């Protein structure tokens, strides 16, 4: 049985190959709507950045040589505001008041912070020695004109979008979002809007997977629920295979009515794994069918969430045209001792807090992988095993944040 890191690597390898075969579709979006999208065309600098020698402080622009030692006094001959210009030349021995973001005039080569000066009338005394380049970002030092600032395949977060805005790239070429078909299975599962009978459950996994797909900036295509019979699952799986990827939940365990693998096999699927050494989530299935990645996630709601985070997310990144983001892992001090059973990596609902100096993580009580209520109070998963299955209070342990909660 693969470890979760091996299984994740397998997904990245296989989906990477499939993604490389696909012709990605481009579209244009306005910058305000582009967060989370994947750039399909480079963004380059339209001019030097900064476009002028920029002062990074409020203070006085000077020739550093005029204040090479503390205590120099210079005459102030004017001011330059951000966006403003100083007309005329500044003679040696003179200085000019300057604001943060303003252009340092030609001939001057340092800015002294206002905090380190005294002023009486137009006479400014410099308490500290200045050196050339002090508090100035030279023209073109952040980026030269025409240099590539964002590459094709970059996921557009707030920093990337700020760069795009800075260079005036307000309409961005991006890849179309990967479309993910979502199908739950189970005779007992009814729509979340329906009134369940005493022995039925509402379909929470459909909503989970749709939400997680949206959070990954993919386009969910919900296909509802299939009852546990081969014909119905097969028909809906065939519909799902029309999209870029199919994510099923339920029906992958050892039970008599767990039919997902059987249906996939009947459609000629190639199985890359059918179990992973994790709890929750052990029966997770990853296959390709008609060159499309197919995930069969275990139906227990917490298993669905953990296996989506571990295996589906990197696949979505690859289909989106970008590199899979690494699994985020934090380190925190364990609040009380945790002991688990051998052989598996355990992802336990936990709460991470920074009350004091260090992050601290507490395992939450839960009833196992069906316990959604416990999970909604957790903001992460404490990871224990597979090698070391006991961690003492006070030890540093790994925690995977619950996406969006931390
Ligand atoms: P399965 O993986 O099909 O054996 O299902 C495992 C457990 O998860 C059972 O208790 C199911 O009732 C529950 N379950 C399966 N699918 C869903 C779903 N879509 N929403 C909520 N619970 C589900
Ligand atoms: Mg089932």
> Looking at the predicted structure, is the pLDDT value of residue 56 above 90?
yes
Ligand 1 pocket check: which of 299, 301, 367, 372 to mutate, most ligand atoms within 8 Å of Cβ?
299
Question: What angle is formed at CA 162 by the lines to CA 52 and CA 99, rounded to 5 degrees?
Answer: 40
Question: What angle is formed at CA 19 by the lines to CA 16 and CA 24, rounded to 5 degrees?
Answer: 150
pLDDT, position 341? 82
HSE-CB at 189 with a 13 A cutoff on CA atoms is 20
How far is the C-alpha of 61 from the C-alpha of 98, rounded, in Å? 6
Average pLDDT over residues 181-207: 98
pLDDT, position 343? 85
Peptide bond into 280 cis (omega under 30): yes
Q: How far is the CA of 206 from the centre of ligand 2 (A)?
A: 13
pLDDT, position 100? 98
* pLDDT tens readout for residues 340-395: 988 899 999 999 999 888 999 999 999 999 999 999 999 999 999 888 889 999 99
Say yes or no: CB of residue 249 within 6 Å of ligand 1: yes
* pLDDT tens readout for residues 305-336: 999 999 999 999 999 999 999 999 999 999 99
> Looking at the predicted structure, is the pLDDT value of residue 162 above 90?
yes
Ligand 1 pocket check: which of 211, 247, 249 to mutate, most ligand atoms within 8 Å of Cβ?
249
Q: How far is the CA of 233 from the centre of ligand 1 (A)?
A: 15
How far is the C-alpha of 227 from the C-alpha of 239, rounded, in Å? 15
pLDDT, position 355? 82
Chain centroid to Cα 364, Å, comes to 26
Phi-psi region of 281 (alpha: psi -120 to 50; beta: other; left: phi over 0): left
pLDDT, position 33? 98
> Looking at the predicted structure, is the pLDDT value of residue 112 above 90?
yes
pLDDT, position 385? 87
Chain centroid to Cα 220, Å, comes to 18
Atom of ligand 1 nearest to the CA of 184: 19
Q: Which of 330, 343, 329, 325 shows the shortest CA–CA distance to 278? A: 343
Q: Crossing angle for the helix pair 313-320 and 4-21, nearest 10 degrees?
A: 20
pLDDT, position 23? 87
pLDDT, position 261? 98
Chain centroid to Cα 402, Å, comes to 12
Ligand 1 pocket check: which of 200, 201, 222, 297 to mutate, most ligand atoms within 8 Å of Cβ?
201
CB contact set of 132 (below 8 Å; sequence gap of 6+): 64, 109, 110
Mean pLDDT of the chain: 97
CB contact set of 6 (below 8 Å; sequence gap of 6+): none
- Residue 89: exposed, middle, or buried by beta-carbon count in 10 A (0-12, 13-18, 19+)? exposed
pLDDT, position 264? 98
Chain centroid to Cα 33, Å, comes to 17
Q: Whole-structure pTM over 0.85, yes or no?
A: yes
Average pLDDT over residues 240-248: 98
What φ, ψ does residue 106 adopt, rounded to 5°? -55, 140
Say yes or no: CB of residue 201 within 6 Å of ligand 1: yes
Band (pLDDT 50/70/90 cuts) for residue 148 is very high
* pLDDT tens readout for residues 15-26: 999 999 988 899
Give the whole-number percent of the chain exceeding pLDDT 70: 100
Average pLDDT over residues 200-205: 98
Q: How far is the CA of 301 from the centre of ligand 1 (A)?
A: 7
Say yes or no: CB of residue 188 within 6 Å of ligand 1: yes
**Cα torsion angle, 193, 198, 204, 205, sign:** negative
When mean pLDDT is compared across 97-101, 259-263, 363-367, 383-387, the lowest value belongs to 383-387
Atom of ligand 1 nearest to the CA of 225: 19
Peptide bond into 386 cis (omega under 30): yes
Say yes or no: CB of residue 250 within 6 Å of ligand 1: yes
> Looking at the predicted structure, is the pLDDT value of residue 28 above 90?
yes
Give the whole-number percent of the chain exceeding pLDDT 90: 96
How far is the C-alpha of 224 from the C-alpha of 222, rounded, in Å? 6
Average pLDDT over residues 98-111: 97
CB contact set of 276 (below 8 Å; sequence gap of 6+): 1, 2, 3, 4, 7, 282, 284, 307, 310, 311
- Helix/strand/coil (H/E/C) assignment for every residue in the chain: CECHHHHHHHHHHHHHHHHHHCCCCEEEEEHHHCCCCEECCCEECCCCECCCCEECCCEEEECHHHHCCCCEEEEEEEEECCCCCCCCCCCCCEEEEECCCCECCCCCCEEEEHHHEEEECCEEEECCCCCCCCCEECCCCCECCCCEEECCCCECCHHHHHHHHHCCCCEEEEECCCEEEEEEECCCEECCCCCCCCCCEECHHHHHHHHHHHHCCCEEEEEEEECCCHHHHHHHHHHHCCCCEEEEECCCCCCCCCCHHHHHHHCCCEEEECCECEECCCCCEEEEECCEEEEEECCCHHHHHHHHHHHHHHHHHHHHCCCCCCCCCEEEEECCCEECCCCCEEEEEEEEECCCCCCEEEECCCCCCCCHHHHHHCCEEEEECCCCCEECCCCEEEEEECCCCC
């Amino acid at each position: 049985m693969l470890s979760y890191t091996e299984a994740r690597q397998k997904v990245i390898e296989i989906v990477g190959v499939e993604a490389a075969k696909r012709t990605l579709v481009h579209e244009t979006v306005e910058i305000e709507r582009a967060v989370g999208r994947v750039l399909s065309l480079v963004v380059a600098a339209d001019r030097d950045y900064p476009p002028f020698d920029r002062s990074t402080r409020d203070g006085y622009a000077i020739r550093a040589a005029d204040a090479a030692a503390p205590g120099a006094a210079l005459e102030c001959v004017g001011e330059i505001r951000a966006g403003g210009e100083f007309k005329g030349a500044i003679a040696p021995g003179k200085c000019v008041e300057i604001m943060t973001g303003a252009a340092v005039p030609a001939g001057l080569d340092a800015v002294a912070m206002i905090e380190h000066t005294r002023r009486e009338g137009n006479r400014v005394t410099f308490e500290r020695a200045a050196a050339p380049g002090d508090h100035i970002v030279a023209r073109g030092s952040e980026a030269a004109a025409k240099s590539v600032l964002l590459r094709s395949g970059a996921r557009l977060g707030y920093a990337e979008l700020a760069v795009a805005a800075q260079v005036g790239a307000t309409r961005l070429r991006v890849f179309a979002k990967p479309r993910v078909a979502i199908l739950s299975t189970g005779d007992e599962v009814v729509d979340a809007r329906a009134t369940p009978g005493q022995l039925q459950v509402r379909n929470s996994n459909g909503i989970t997977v749709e939400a997680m797909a949206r959070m990954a900036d993919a386009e969910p295509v919900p296909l509802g629920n299939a009852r546990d019979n081969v014909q119905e699952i097969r028909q809906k799986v065939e519909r799902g295979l029309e999209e870029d990827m199919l994510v099923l939940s339920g029906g992958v365990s050892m039970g008599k009515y767990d039919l997902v693998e059987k249906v996939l096999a009947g459609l000629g699927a190639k199985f890359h794994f059918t179990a992973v050494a994790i709890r929750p989530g052990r029966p997770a299935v990853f296959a390709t069918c008609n060159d499309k990645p197919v995930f069969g996630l275990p139906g227990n709601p917490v298993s669905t969430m953990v296996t989506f985070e571990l295996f589906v997310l990197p696949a979505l990144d690859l289909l989106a045209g970008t590199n899979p983001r690494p699994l985020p892992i934090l380190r925190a001090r364990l609040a009380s001792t945790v002991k688990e059973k051998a052989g598996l990596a355990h992802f336990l609902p936990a709460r991470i807090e920074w009350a004091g100096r260090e992050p601290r993580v507490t395992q939450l009580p839960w009833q196992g992988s069906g316990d959604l209520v416990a999970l909604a109070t957790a903001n992460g998963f404490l990871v224990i095993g597979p090698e070391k299955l006991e961690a003492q209070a006070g030890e540093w342990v790994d925690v995977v944040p619950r996406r969006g909660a931390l």
